[in-house]
């Protein structure tokens, strides 16, 4: 991770208080020579040494809110050693399992496809900002897909532990894991908790916290300096198969049953949540109906995505089939009575 990060923040810079330079394309981090954590200096109308991204930009017509990023791109790590041989987990800790040679190639290919997609409809000022799982295969995937982006296109990166893989326990006994997975199939994939590990429901809880952090970052435009935010920013989340499915479940409020019908993304694959005509993030802006069905989405979920395509942030879909009529069994009988 240090190689990529050093390209963005040179080693000579000590990260302490953020000082904003109005004519700079980045937020430069430097130490406070007075060693006063609470001191601040005003320069050209901005407060230095505080949190400038929290100060919404003033305009003659009022306050300008930062533009929402154009896309949220979900990337599953490339093929790992554990994907090829599960016995690896008996001798290597899950966070230390890395990519295979094929996985490196998959990550590099994902980066090329991502850049091609962004350039095709991204505007001249587009950039990417990364959130990444701290697991070795996540970091290696990030480093290899990032080869497609020069320094000026990378707005930043944040290692995010809440994006880690589902915990299956510590060093895993291969034969015991077969038994546990068989029990999970009977119990239910979402609620079954592995001994000394997590259930998908546990992952849901921590992803809920990450989602709130992400929403806050989007609302204040944390990815670029105030007044310089572009609507062509792309957020890239590099994580794991189940974690990304849970993220989508939480974002779109899918049910447990709908989650259990979803399939993993391919290694090095990506799912794109693109800003729709009303400003909300929608899967069907980029993906075809056939692609989403292959992923495991039902007709009700696809109908909701069509609504997401035109809805505005904050609006509610009061006719949503996912959270409404599907829970009740008596409506059809009542309708028949009234028809009589």
Which positions are catalytic?
A: 77, 165
Q: Which of 133, 132, 134, 137 is nearest to 97 (CA)?
A: 137
Rg (CA), the chain: 22
- For residue 324, give every residue at least 6 positions away whose Cβ sits within 8 Å of its Cβ, in sequence order, or none: 318
Task: Please state, in angstroms and rounded to a whole number, the distance separating the CA atoms of residues 338 and 340.
Answer: 5
Q: Which of 150, 132, 112 is nearest to 1 (CA)?
A: 132
Angle at 106 between CA 265 and CA 97, to 5 degrees: 80
Judging by DSSP bridges, how do beta strands 71-76 and 57-59 pair with one another? unpaired
Judging by DSSP bridges, how do beta strands 281-282 and 71-76 pair with one another? unpaired
Neighbours of 301 (CB within 10 A): 23
Neighbours of 255 (CB within 10 A): 17
Q: Which of 5, 231, 279, 225 is nearest to 126 (CA)?
A: 231
Q: What b/e readout covers 168-177, taking b as 16+ CB neighbours within 10 angstroms?
A: bbeebeeeeb
Terminal Cα distance for the chain, rounded: 69
Task: Please state, in angstroms and rounded to a whole number, the distance separating the CA atoms of residues 114 and 148.
Answer: 9
- For residue 253, give every residue at least 6 positions away whose Cβ sits within 8 Å of its Cβ, in sequence order, or none: 322, 323
Task: Please state, in angstroms and rounded to a whole number, the distance separating the CA atoms of residues 131 and 219.
Answer: 16
Q: Are 314 and 274 in contact (CB under 8 A)?
A: no
């Amino acid at each position: 991770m240090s190689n990529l990060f050093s390209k963005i923040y040179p080693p000579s810079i000590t990260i302490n208080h953020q000082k904003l330079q109005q004519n700079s394309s980045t937020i430069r981090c430097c130490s406070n020579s007075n060693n006063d954590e609470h001191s601040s200096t005003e320069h050209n109308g901005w407060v230095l040494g505080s949190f400038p991204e929290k100060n919404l930009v003033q305009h003659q017509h009022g306050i300008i809110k930062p533009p929402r990023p154009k896309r949220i791109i979900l990337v599953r790590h490339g093929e790992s050693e554990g994907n090829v041989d599960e016995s690896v987990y008996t001798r290597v800790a899950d966070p230390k399992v890395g990519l295979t040679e094929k996985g490196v190639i998959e990550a590099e290919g994902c980066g090329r496809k991502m850049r091609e997609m962004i350039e095709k409809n991204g505007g001249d000022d587009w950039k990417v900002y990364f959130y990444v799982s701290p697991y070795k295969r996540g970091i290696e995937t990030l480093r290899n897909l990032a080869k497609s982006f020069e320094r000026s296109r990378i707005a930043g990166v944040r290692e995010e532990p809440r994006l880690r893989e589902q915990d299956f326990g510590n060093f895993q006994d291969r034969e015991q894991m077969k038994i546990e997975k068989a029990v999970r199939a009977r119990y239910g994939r979402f609620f079954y908790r592995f001994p000394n590990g997590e259930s998908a429901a546990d992952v849901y809880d921590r992803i809920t916290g990450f989602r709130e952090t992400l929403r806050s970052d989007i609302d204040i435009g944390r990815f670029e300096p105030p007044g310089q935010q572009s609507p062509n920013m792309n957020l890239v989340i590099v994580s794991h198969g189940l974690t990304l499915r849970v993220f989508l479940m939480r974002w779109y409020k899918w049910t447990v049953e709908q989650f259990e019908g979803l399939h993993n993304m391919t290694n090095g694959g990506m799912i794109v949540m693109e800003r729709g005509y009303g400003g909300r993030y929608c899967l069907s802006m980029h993906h075809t109906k056939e692609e989403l069905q292959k992923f495991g989405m039902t007709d009700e979920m696809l109908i909701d995505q069509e609504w997401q395509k035109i809805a505005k942030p904050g609006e509610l879909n009061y006719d949503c089939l996912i959270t409404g009529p599907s829970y009740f069994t008596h409506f059809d009988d009542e309708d028949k009575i009234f028809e009589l």
